[in-house]
Amino acid sequence: MITRTVLVITATLFMFATTGVALAAHPDNGPGCGLGKLAWNSYAGQQSIGAQVLQSTTNGIVPSQTFGISSGTSGCTNDGTIFASEKVNVFAAVNFDNLAQEMAQGQGEHLTSLATLMGIPAEQHGVFFAMAQEKYTTLIQAGETSPKAVVKAIYSAMGSHPVLAQASSTK
Amino acid sequence: MIIHITLLCLGLFILPSVATAQDPSSTYLLQLIERADHKHLHQHRYWHLLLHYRQNFFGGYTSEVDDPGFFQASEGKNDPQAELHATLEKFFSGDLVGRSKQVAQCAFIARFQWLRAQLKFDETRLPLHHCERYEQWVNELNPASITLIFPAAFMNNPVSMFGHSFLRIDQQDQTEHTRILAYTVNYAADVPPGAGLEFAFKGMLGGYQGFFSTIPYYIKVQEYRDIENRDIWEYRLNLSPEEIHRLLMHTWEMGNAYFDYYFFKENCAYHILSLLEVANPQFHLTDQFHFWTIPADTIRLLIQQKDLVQDVSYRPAGSTNLKRKRAALQPSEQFWLEQIIQDPSYAIAPDFLKLSQPRQTFLLDLASDYLRYKGRTDSKQADEYQTKNRSILLQRSQIRVPSPAFSVAPFSLSPEQGHETARMGVGIGWRNDELFEHIDIRAVYHDLLDPNPGYTPDSQVELGALSLRHYHGRNQFRIEQFTLVNVLSLAPIDSWFRSPSWKIRMEMNTVKTRSCDLCSNGHFNVGAGGALETHVFQREVFFLMGEVDANVSGAYDENHRIGGGVSGGVVANVTENWKWLASGGYLGYFLGHRSDDIQVSVGQRWTFAKNFAFRTTFTHHDRDNELLAVFHGYF
């Protein structure tokens, strides 16, 4: 019962943070951490980073222990840093609204940072921004299902792009 | 079976102490301890910095760390020498220690590296452990330089009323556009969600544990810039690679520690300074602060260190961005902006499309910024704002030109350019035709008439202020006033911003009534209302508040009076250095001593140097008139 209540609260916070993201209905229990895997089923002690990070966007407080230094591996942080495999997803989920705006504008520090995290070389950033702006509608629609899906949609859009295909295939 | 296990446990327990008697490593340990004692390493400043030892009242040393696991000796918190011996002993062991559960050489890697250099460890006799977790962590942080970050004060959260500070670990190969990917080193109290008033007390009295953490900067930027609407100041520090290395080793070590959190002294700013001292022990930073550590004061102190602060950059708050961009619009553009916000379909109206593309993008971007701001602050209609924002962004994505560059200027100078936070004043005045001399002293921080630069506009936070007077006619010395708390926040309202203005005050002051000529009075006042801004001279803010007022004094029947009323006024910057504050109010008291009170007050301040100002005030109460002139110095 308590688990259920917590689940509902967490889900509500989550939906508040990224309204329109319908992930709450489809918890992903696969490997990894954070956004796909909000550890709702095994909530007991450790809150997953995704839930904490997203709560932080509603109330402005990240429990310091989420990113505790040398705290050992917990959730999806590794001694307070984010696992390489989850960096793009965590970034995209936390900054979804900023990214949506900057994709429409075809520029911005969040978009540049996302491109960097995705391993797109600096000289191709301009091409990447233009693509994000051009495909804004498709990409954001994908983002409405889950923040992870927007990342996936960006990768697949890059895959069919003459210049960016190279950067995406190395992923 | 049970006996067997018990024996085994005993055996394990006894084994190391038996071993220390003959083991070659134990002879080496004894040699190291002897050498360390000979060199008085336990009295060395660096050892004290690493363990956060402070001299205590009795002349000994006590560590500020409160986590028992941080110390290797049971009496380590109070005994630097025992701690040093025990630490050396643990370096020989493969046991996992501390909160982080690593071997001691890695858990306390800064201690290890320092002692290794001081004592020239023989690696054949003290085998080195490979600290893989630490190396991974440093690789992930990828440090190139360190920047001190200061989000400005945030009046609507008392915890933030003095600002906050933390470090950003700038990475190799970063550009100005990817700074947000850096990790930060942040010290904060671990406060359970939903803690309200309780926080104020526990936070002041050490009721919470404070930890260091490495939150990504993009989360901090979102928290301060987007959610709390606080300007962020960034101070690039000029640290050498060795200094950065020492700082990070110690930060890693601090993963094993917590401190009892004290809002006034051992707070974020204080512990960030302690990290910088480990980076370079030549810095004497934390010992400059005795009773309280105001983040802005720590920045002033860093600026004073030779060649430390390289440059300062500014990241505007969401609300600053909106205000500056809106102010840059032509009247016709303002019209379009309002239309688009009401109904995004105006963004494809033929007349709108006649504007130049850069102006279209500027308006659409601003509309989107505004709708996102509203979505964050008005949760009831968040969906509506979001839908509108989506339509605007869709239209924006059709215009394939970059948004015009626009530099957002802050409304206040950077915090280190402000006056110092403690204040002392000497003055003279007349109260009801009686001459008096006046001295005042204030612990912290800023009132409405203090010089503006460097402080959040229209806000006042005074804690611990005392004024003394000598009245000539009766040749009497008095404690005229003691202010415990005097906080006021004015938030000018316009069509976009609608935050309340509010104030709270707890003090002892001196009143004159029909029955008592100069009586001490306990005074509590709280109020809320609204404010408006005009620009007739330079800038004026008008305010009006409803309030509750309570007094406890022998001057009143039944020794108290409680009531309510209204007050209003204007604070005006006439020139850069000249500011006025005029206010008036009516209070009716219906509990205790039934009475009423009309108050009028007019004050002006002239700043003639960053840390010197002169002010005069006239105050009128019921049957009490006073004129006061004071020179203030800030220190």
Residue B18: Cβ-neighbour burial (10 angstroms; 0-12, 13-18, 19+):
exposed
Query: What is the DSSP secondary-structure string of B420-473?
Result: PS-EEEEEEEEETTEEEEEEEEEEEEE-TTS--TTS-TTEEEEEEEEEEEEETT
Range A147-157 burial, b when 16+ CB lie within 10 A, else e: bbbbbbbbbeb
Cα gap A132→A135, rounded to integer Å: 5
Smallest CA–CA distance from B365 into chain A, residue? A105
**B597: in domain:** yes
Question: Which of B180, B228, B394 faces A113 most closely, judged by CB atoms?
Answer: B180
Task: Tell me which of B109, B130, B151 is where a domain ends.
Answer: B130
Low-confidence ranges of chain B (pLDDT < 50): 1-21
**Across A55-81, average pLDDT:** 64
Chain B positions in Cβ-Cβ contact with residue A101 (cut-off 8 Å)? 368-369, 372, 389, 393
Q: For position B190, what pLDDT does the model report?
A: 85
Best CA proximity match to B162, nearest among B10, B304, B295, B273 = B295
In CATH, what number is assigned to the domain containing residue B500? 2.40.160.40
Task: Tell me which of B93, B111, B130 is where a domain ends.
Answer: B130
Are B431 and B579 part of one and the same domain?
yes
> Which tokens is A4 given?
């259920």
φ and ψ at B435, to 5 degrees?
A: -80, 145
Question: Which of A67, A113, A137 faces B213 most closely, judged by CB atoms?
Answer: A67
Q: For position B358, what pLDDT does the model report?
A: 95
Q: How confident is the model at residue A165 (pLDDT cuts 50, 70, 90)?
A: confident
pLDDT tens track for A117-144:
999 999 999 999 999 999 999 998 887 7
Inter-chain CB proximity A65 and B190 less than 8 Å: yes
**B290: in domain:** yes
Q: Is the pLDDT of residue A6 over 50?
A: no
Q: For position B377, what pLDDT does the model report?
A: 87
Q: Is the pLDDT of residue A55 over 90?
A: no
Closest approach of A77 to chain B, Cα-based (Å)? 10
Smallest CA–CA distance from B217 into chain A, residue? A91
- A–B CB contacts, 8 A cutoff, strictly below: 159
Inter-chain CB proximity A66 and B254 less than 8 Å: no
Q: How confident is the model at residue A14 (pLDDT cuts 50, 70, 90)?
A: very low
φ and ψ at B139, to 5 degrees?
A: -60, -40
Task: Please tell me whether residue B407 adopts helix, strand or coil conformation.
Answer: coil
Q: Where along chain A do its domains lie?
A: 2-82, 95-169
Are B247 and B360 part of one and the same domain?
no
**B178: in domain:** yes
Chain A positions in Cβ-Cβ contact with residue B223 (cut-off 8 Å)? 56, 60-62
Q: For position B200, what pLDDT does the model report?
A: 77
Contacts of A6 (CB under 8 A, 6+ apart): A40, A43
Inter-chain CB proximity B213 and A61 less than 8 Å: no
Closest approach of A27 to chain B, Cα-based (Å)? 23
Q: Is the pLDDT of residue A69 over 70?
A: yes
Q: For position A60, what pLDDT does the model report?
A: 42
Omega cis (within 30) before A155? no
Cα gap B173→B404, rounded to integer Å: 27
Q: For position A168, what pLDDT does the model report?
A: 66
Which H or E element spans position B9?
helix B2-22
State which residues form the domain around B338.
329-398
Are B181 and B47 part of one and the same domain?
no
Inter-chain CB proximity A103 and B368 less than 8 Å: no
Are B120 and B153 part of one and the same domain?
no
Smallest CA–CA distance from A137 into chain B, residue? B394
How many structural domains comprise chain B? Answer: 4
**B486: in domain:** yes
> Which tokens is B556 given?
């009143």
Question: Which of A53, A81, A109 faces B214 most closely, judged by CB atoms?
Answer: A81
Closest approach of B430 to chain A, Cα-based (Å)? 50
Are B548 and B474 part of one and the same domain?
yes
Closest approach of B389 to chain A, Cα-based (Å)? 9
Are B78 and B225 part of one and the same domain?
no
Neighbours of A112 (CB within 10 A): 22
**B520: in domain:** yes
Are B555 and B470 part of one and the same domain?
yes
First to last CA, chain A: 42
Are B601 and B480 part of one and the same domain?
yes
Task: Tell me which of B293, B315, B337 is where a domain ends.
Answer: B315
Are B465 and B526 part of one and the same domain?
yes
Distances in Å between the Cα of A116 and the Cα atoms of A27, A142, B513 are 28, 21, 71
Closest approach of A135 to chain B, Cα-based (Å)? 9
Closest approach of A30 to chain B, Cα-based (Å)? 24
Best CA proximity match to B223, nearest among A95, A22, A144, A37 = A95
Question: Which of B134, B178, B219 faces A112 most closely, judged by CB atoms?
Answer: B178
ipTM for the predicted complex comes to: 0.90
Beta strands in B231-356 (DSSP E): 232-237, 259-261, 309-315
**B411: in domain:** no
Are B211 and B336 part of one and the same domain?
no
pLDDT tens track for B496-546:
999 999 999 999 999 998 888 899 999 999 999 999 999 999 999 999 999
Smallest CA–CA distance from B248 into chain A, residue? A69
> Which tokens is B180 given?
């947000």
> Which tokens is A10 given?
């967490």
pLDDT tens track for B49-76:
999 999 999 999 999 999 999 999 999 9
CB B511 within 8 A of CB B505: no
